[in-house]
A and B are shown apart, each in its own frame.
Chain A
Amino acid sequence: MVTVEHLYHDYAGKGDYAVKDVSFEIADGEVFGFLGPSGAGKSTTQNILTGLLPMQKGKASVGGCDIKKPNDQFFNLIGVSFEQSNVYDKLTGLENLEFYRSLFSVPTMEPKKLLDMVGLTNAAKKRASAYSKGMKHRLTFARSMINNPEMWFLDEPTTGLDPAIAEAIINIVKERNDKGATVFLTTHNMHVADQLCDRVAFINNGELLLIDSPKNLKLQYGQKLVEVEYGENGDLKKETLSFVDEKDRKKLGKIAESGNVQMMHTKEATLEQIFITVTGRGLV
Chain B
Amino acid sequence: MKALMHTFVKDMKLATRSFYIWIVLLFAVIFVGVMLFAVPDNPSLGTQAYVFVEDDPLLADFSDHLIEEAKNTGGFELVGSRDAIIAAMEANRNAKGIYVAIRDDRMYAEYILQGYEGERVENLFAAEVKGMTAQEAGLGVDTTVTYLKGKDAVKAPLKVSLIPIFLTMESAFIGMFLVAAYVFMDKDDGTIKAYGVSPGRIWQYLLSKIMMFAVFGWLSGFFALTVLRGFDYNFLHVLLLLTTYNVFGTILGLILAAFFDNLQNAMTWILLMATLLGITTVSYLMPSFSPAVIRWLPTYPMQFAFKEAIYPTGNAAYVWQNILGFLGLSVVLFALTMGLYKKRLSAF
Given contacts A86-B191, A88-B189, A104-B198, whether A52 and B345 have CB atoms under 8 Å apart is yes
Measured in the bound complex, the distance between the Cα atoms of B185 and A89 in whole Å is 10
Q: Is the CB of A75 within 8 A of B17?
A: no
CB of A66, distance to nearest CB on chain B (Å): 16
Measured in the bound complex, the distance between the Cα atoms of B218 and A38 in whole Å is 48
19 additional contacts (CB under 8 A) given A72-B199, A85-B190, A91-B14: A50-B197, A52-B196, A53-B346, A75-B197, A75-B198, A76-B199, A78-B197, A80-B194, A82-B190, A86-B194, A87-B194, A88-B10, A88-B191, A90-B18, A91-B10, A95-B13, A99-B7, A102-B3, A104-B199
Residue of A nearest to B14 (CB): A90
Enumerate chain A interface residues (CB-CB to B < 8 A). 47, 50-54, 72, 75-76, 78, 80, 82, 84-91, 95, 99-100, 102-105, 140, 143
Q: Hey, which chain B residues are within 8 Å of A47, CB to CB?
A: 346
CB of B258, distance to nearest CB on chain A (Å): 15
CB of B207, distance to nearest CB on chain A (Å): 14
Contact of A52 among B6, B14, B191, B193 (CB under 8 A): B193
B103 lies within 8 A of chain A by Cβ:
no
Residue of B nearest to A95 (CB): B13
Measured in the bound complex, the distance between the Cα atoms of B105 and A270 in whole Å is 117
28 A-B residue pairings within 8 Å (CB atoms): A52-B193, A52-B197, A53-B346, A80-B194, A80-B197, A82-B190, A82-B193, A82-B194, A84-B190, A85-B190, A86-B190, A86-B191, A86-B193, A87-B189, A87-B191, A88-B191, A90-B18, A91-B10, A91-B14, A95-B10, A95-B13, A99-B10, A100-B198, A102-B2, A102-B3, A103-B195, A103-B200, A140-B194
Measured in the bound complex, the distance between the Cα atoms of B191 and A100 in whole Å is 10
Measured in the bound complex, the distance between the Cα atoms of B13 and A54 in whole Å is 32
B343 lies within 8 A of chain A by Cβ:
yes
Q: Is the CB of A86 within 8 A of B189?
A: yes
Q: Hey, which chain A residues are within 8 Å of B189, CB to CB?
A: 86-89
Q: Is the CB of A103 within 8 A of B3?
A: yes
Q: Is the CB of B17 within 8 A of A90?
A: yes
Q: Which of B3, B190, B198 has the most CB of A within 10 A?
A: B198
Contact of A51 among B7, B13, B14, B196 (CB under 8 A): B196
Measured in the bound complex, the distance between the Cα atoms of B191 and A140 in whole Å is 10
CB of A107, distance to nearest CB on chain B (Å): 13
Measured in the bound complex, the distance between the Cα atoms of B6 and A80 in whole Å is 20
Q: Is the CB of B10 within 8 A of A105?
A: no
Q: In the complex, how many residues of chain B place their beta carbon closer than 8 angstroms to a beta carbon of chain A?
A: 23
Measured in the bound complex, the distance between the Cα atoms of B189 and A88 in whole Å is 7
Enumerate chain B interface residues (CB-CB to A < 8 A). 2-3, 6-7, 10, 13-14, 17-18, 189-191, 193-200, 343, 345-346
Q: Hey, which chain B residues are within 8 Å of A140, CB to CB?
A: 194
Q: Hey, which chain B residues are within 8 Å of A78, CB to CB?
A: 197
Q: Hey, which chain A residues are within 8 Å of B197, CB to CB?
A: 50-52, 75, 78, 80
Measured in the bound complex, the distance between the Cα atoms of B343 and A104 in whole Å is 23
Measured in the bound complex, the distance between the Cα atoms of B196 and A51 in whole Å is 8
Chain B binding surface, main DSSP class: helix
Q: Which of A52, A103, A104, A140 has the most CB of B within 10 A?
A: A103
Q: Is the CB of A105 within 8 A of B199?
A: yes
Q: Hey, which chain A residues are within 8 Å of B191, CB to CB?
A: 86-88
Q: Hey, which chain B residues are within 8 Å of A80, CB to CB?
A: 194, 197
Given contacts A82-B190, A88-B191, whether A99 and B345 have CB atoms under 8 Å apart is no
CB of B130, distance to nearest CB on chain A (Å): 71
Measured in the bound complex, the distance between the Cα atoms of B196 and A50 in whole Å is 9
Q: Hey, which chain A residues are within 8 Å of B18, CB to CB?
A: 90
Residue of B nearest to A85 (CB): B190
Q: Hey, which chain B residues are within 8 Å of A85, CB to CB?
A: 190
Lowest 5 A-B CB distances belong to which pairs?
Answer: A86-B190, A102-B6, A75-B199, A103-B200, A90-B17
Q: Hey, which chain B residues are within 8 Å of A84, CB to CB?
A: 190
Residue of B nearest to A98 (CB): B6
CB of A252, distance to nearest CB on chain B (Å): 52
Measured in the bound complex, the distance between the Cα atoms of B199 and A267 in whole Å is 48
Q: Is the CB of B6 within 8 A of A99?
A: yes
CB of A280, distance to nearest CB on chain B (Å): 30
Residue of A nearest to B17 (CB): A90
Q: Hey, which chain A residues are within 8 Å of B345, CB to CB?
A: 52
Q: Is the CB of A54 within 8 A of B3?
A: no
Contact of A143 among B2, B194, B343 (CB under 8 A): B194
Measured in the bound complex, the distance between the Cα atoms of B12 and A95 in whole Å is 13
Residue of B nearest to A80 (CB): B197
Measured in the bound complex, the distance between the Cα atoms of B346 and A105 in whole Å is 24
Q: Is the CB of A88 within 8 A of B193?
A: no
Q: Hey, which chain A residues are within 8 Å of B7, CB to CB?
A: 99, 103
Measured in the bound complex, the distance between the Cα atoms of B188 and A85 in whole Å is 11
Measured in the bound complex, the distance between the Cα atoms of B345 and A192 in whole Å is 30
Q: Which of B194, B195, B196, B200 has the most CB of A within 10 A?
A: B194
Residue of A nearest to B13 (CB): A91
Residue of A nearest to B348 (CB): A52
